[in-house]
Chain A
């Protein structure tokens, strides 16, 4: 029995990937769990494991091939002849097929995952039922913006209705710019004809994903921006003291580690900002998972500090150091950078005074941190010098009212200015 090995979808956003390296050759015998190939996704380089046993009879895609669509057959495994079905013991095959409950709960095995992904040559084809397509066309809804809840993520009638219902009540403009949004995922930038000396640089998968997601965010999410100035002197003093006592443990807290914790706590204190807008309803998170923007050579990735409000500063610090290290090597696992309930982006170390960040949907807020600098500051009605930074929150205005956003900024400012709350 030959088994087709298909390009796996190693992350929900992955549509295609680069087959970076084969770790097996034709004729090799593989068994479940053996590493077969390294695949570069839109976010990271991942190892692809065998699920079936057998002999690799054919490698169909050459090493280094990029743009391999999810679902493409990349290799053929010749499995052992399955004689168990003819075995006299009726119970045997049943037992063999029955997965452990734990496996049932886990994500589908990579080899079966491609079933969920479009196998058509057009990468931006939207999977939707005929009725969903008809209703979307009638009501001017762009299916590319709708997430599907049907089998294998197929968009069904209820999804379109939920989407257009939400669109009507919260964002009356959605129907108007559909033409734009339909093009958005494919980055509709026409080829540029220019005489200026240049070289054409191919986009990495990560760059393509960044382009698509940021375009979606700016076009679909109405952003509001709220800026506060935050005095850092107390936090810097506390950091110095903490680092002195943490030194024997080899831990050095950064300002950013402390700001991550402050944002986590602020989101728990102002739960109205710890949300996701989801069409007809809203997800209200009871845990604050902070995505931390980390610059890597190929672009940007956001490893997550889960439950930041309840982690000690030292734990956050060691976690971030470890995650950022692996992020730079492109070795993060999808669960380590997908999810999160809000983000933080810090450009202070580059001297940026203040900026507005783009929300990372389905999150509903991102905190942009500017440089801490000595500024003239009014303390007790007299002019003094203080270390101050500007922090700007971007909020999804569909889900978060201005007053609630302002409340979050206020709590964040207080936590940073009176930082003992971060260690208690």
Chain B
């Protein structure tokens, strides 16, 4: 007789959502968390960074009040107050998850969970251990920041995202290593807050998973805001000193330059949290360090499931949540629909924002598609001009043969709120004609989504 129908190890956006769904389906559920309910996402990731970026955005508007015919004087940004607000937001959401667990009658165990068998785990807290059994266990232990092997983060001068969220002081001259979503968001935040920011990216363009046009545009926009961007560059040496960080950076031209910074953020990727949870003894199948799962999130060990950042990419909160629902429904005996990775959108909340779903133009061509591409600039959209946000574009990539929307790529104000329109269309397998037939409200930024599709077929109206 098991204690539970399901135990979820890890309460991030994957784990806690899986627990709620399973409880809704009538299962007896427990969740094990070693730190904060809600995991990285809402305590140390997605949500508190959005709070920080919102402050930076408002600060930016205040500095540009004149553009809107307004006057703002004596403007200043206090990092402590901005961080305090961000922590408050995280706290509120953490309590929200606590409430959701209670409402759904999910038992919460705080402590370190470790599998002792496929259906058994021990929870250890303050030296005391408790053994729990379950018919099914979902692993949702997430991931952490990858360290530079030669300069691990110390939290004082060399930071990961986590230190950057609660900085001991406002950096004056900041080095950001890595230009993925996390690196670029912090670069954008600290740049807006007044730091002098340098971004170093090993590949030949920033936000390298995005469409090349987006990378080019964003690089120009950020450079215009005063950021220094070095692509095709690598940090050869990094040392924390009493007053800052000294770095040796090898540029595109092969020359190594020594530079001094006050702080450095390392954002070069993630490492899955797969150690010390008892995986080795169970013979759980892995693929390049991540757990191998089937479309219903089953591992090769019966009764053991895995979701989120410890499984295949993309490593995004909404992917983890969606997998949580799929796994919970499959465990409860349902037949959920598998997720198509090509329909998972990605968002980066720098300024200007970046959002995308599906294949880039280059990837589509690589896959052998004959493509039709539409690209509509913010400059041609009435609402964008009224907002004073006329920079950016929306690009769509269609399969010329079938009219399938292969990908959509956006950069500009509020695009993270727009991408879902294309995501729904892609998931429902709409073709170009459906997007064209849809009526888009005026005046909105979404009209650009319409124009971009029209443009792919030579029917653009406002350019």
**A interface vs B, CB < 8 Å?**
90-91, 94-95, 97-105, 129-132, 134-135, 138, 150-151, 156-157
**Contact partners of B402 in chain A: CB under 8 A:** 131, 134-135, 138
**Chain B interface helix/strand/loop/mixed:** loop
Q: Is the CB of A130 within 8 A of B332?
A: no
Closest to B329 in A: A104
**Contact partners of A102 in chain B: CB under 8 A:** 333
**Contact partners of A157 in chain B: CB under 8 A:** 404, 429
- CB of B19, distance to nearest CB on chain A (Å): 13
**Contact partners of B428 in chain A: CB under 8 A:** 129-130
Closest to A103 in B: B26
B22-36 residues with Cβ-Cβ distance < 8 A to A are 23-27
A-B contact pairs, 26 of them (CB 8 A): A94-B24, A94-B103, A94-B104, A97-B24, A99-B25, A100-B26, A101-B26, A101-B332, A101-B333, A102-B333, A104-B26, A105-B333, A105-B334, A129-B428, A129-B429, A130-B403, A130-B430, A130-B434, A131-B402, A134-B403, A134-B404, A135-B402, A138-B401, A150-B337, A157-B404, A157-B429
- CB of B301, distance to nearest CB on chain A (Å): 21
Q: Is the CB of B103 within 8 A of A130?
A: no
**Contact partners of A132 in chain B: CB under 8 A:** 429
Q: Report, as a range, how many residues of chain B touch the other chain.
A: 20 to 34
**Contact partners of B105 in chain A: CB under 8 A:** 91, 94-95
Q: A101-B27, A104-B25 are in contact. List 16 more A-B contacts (CB 8 A).
A: A98-B23, A98-B25, A99-B25, A101-B5, A101-B332, A103-B26, A104-B333, A105-B332, A129-B428, A130-B428, A130-B430, A131-B403, A131-B431, A134-B431, A157-B404, A157-B429
Q: Is the CB of A91 within 8 A of B103?
A: yes
Contacts A99-B25, A101-B332, A105-B332; is A156 near B103 (CB within 8 Å)? no
Question: Cβ of B58 < 8 Å from any Cβ of A?
Answer: no
Binary contact track B9-29/A, C-beta < 8 Å → 1, others 0: 000000000000001111100
Closest to A132 in B: B429
Question: Cβ of B258 < 8 Å from any Cβ of A?
Answer: no
Assembled-state Cα–Cα distance A173/B23 (Å): 50
**B interface vs A, CB < 8 Å?**
5, 23-27, 103-105, 332-334, 337, 401-404, 428-431, 433-434
Assembled-state Cα–Cα distance A130/B429 (Å): 6
Assembled-state Cα–Cα distance A123/B337 (Å): 26
Q: Is the CB of B431 within 8 A of A104?
A: no
- CB of A154, distance to nearest CB on chain B (Å): 9
Could you say which of A103, A104, A157 has the most chain B C-beta atoms within 10 Å of its C-beta?
A: A104
Q: Which 7 A-B pairs have the closest CB atoms?
A: A105-B333, A129-B429, A131-B429, A104-B332, A98-B26, A130-B431, A100-B26
- CB of A125, distance to nearest CB on chain B (Å): 17
Q: Is the CB of A130 within 8 A of B25?
A: no
Closest to B28 in A: A101
Assembled-state Cα–Cα distance A151/B338 (Å): 11
**Contact partners of A129 in chain B: CB under 8 A:** 428-430
Q: Is the CB of B103 within 8 A of A98?
A: no
Contacts A150-B337, A157-B404; is A131 near B25 (CB within 8 Å)? no
Closest to A105 in B: B333
Picked from A90, A91, A98, A105, the residue with its CB within 8 Å of the CB of B24 is A98
**Contact partners of B333 in chain A: CB under 8 A:** 101-102, 104-105
Closest to B27 in A: A101
**Contact partners of A138 in chain B: CB under 8 A:** 401-402
**Contact partners of B334 in chain A: CB under 8 A:** 104-105
**Contact partners of A151 in chain B: CB under 8 A:** 337
Assembled-state Cα–Cα distance A151/B433 (Å): 22
Q: Is the CB of A90 within 8 A of B103?
A: yes
Could you say which of A99, A101, A103, A129 has the most chain B C-beta atoms within 10 Å of its C-beta?
A: A101
